[in-house]
Chain A
Amino acid sequence: DGGITQSPKYLFRKEGQNVTLSCEQNLNHDAMYWYRQDPGQGLRLIYYSQIVNDFQKGDIAEGYSVSREKKESFPLTVTSAQKNPTAFYLCASSRAAGVDTGELFFGEGSRLTVL
């Protein structure tokens, strides 16, 4: 079955450590996204990528980094520079960025907790 796989589902980190969240899709989608979800707030865009080897900052990119070396993969690194990293992180993909149906397909998310 096609879909998006995020791992790990739960992750604990000590302050000062970098962690990388994995996101893989087999939908052959061009665009991929990382969102942060906090209670009582809508999803906030961290980074997005429309094609391989290219990505753009979203609204809250500070303290995060990404790479897009393969179409299927879009890992997110939460660096020690992120002041409040405890959150739920969602990865998504879409057929193409820009003018399309706009439908995003989501993974099941990764919950990061900083101890």
Chain B
Amino acid sequence: AQTVTQSQPEMSVQEAETVTLSCTYDTSESDYYLFWYKQPPSRQMILVIRQEAYKQQNATENRFSVNFQKAAKSFSLKISDSQLGDAAMYFCAYRSAWDQLIWGAGTKLIIKP
């Protein structure tokens, strides 16, 4: 069965600095999708970034980028120039082509002013 592991329950970073959140997954599939979702204290979960496994190029969305290592089954999220509004729970999620999302346990990100 596929699993998603986020080994960092909590991370903290100084405002304006860079932080990397880790995610590993286990699958025997070759075609799948990986996601990072953000859940701020208001609780509404939103998509941060998405990566298709067939794409070699790492996805980037403004200050958010991923380091996708398919062979290592690793999918880390890098947040550059951290802002106070980045404080949230971050969830890594995996989905094979025809199945439902599988979620990691989440990483709480604290931004220090």
Contact = CB atoms under 8 A, between A and B. Distances in A.
Interface in A77-115: 88, 90, 92, 98-99, 101-104, 106-109
B9 A98 contact: no
B101 A102 contact: yes
A99 B44 contact: no
Interface residues on B, range: 20 to 34
Contact of A103 (B44, B47, B104): B47
Which of A48, A99, A102, A106: most chain B Cβ within 10 A?
Answer: A102
A42 B46 contact: no
Contacts of A106: 44-46
B95 interface: yes
A44 B103 CA distance: 8
Interface string B27-48: 0000001010100001111110
Interface string B5-16: 000010000000
A43 interface: yes
Nearest to B32: A102
Interface size class of chain A, counting residues whose CB lies under 8 Å from the partner chain: 20 to 34
A16 interface: no
Contact of B104 (A42, A58, A99): A42
Contacts of A98: 98
B9 A102 contact: no
Most chain B CB within 10 A, of A43, A44, A48, A58, is at A43
B100 interface: yes
A103 B104 CA distance: 16
B72 interface: no
Contacts of A44: 103
Contacts of B43: 88, 108-109
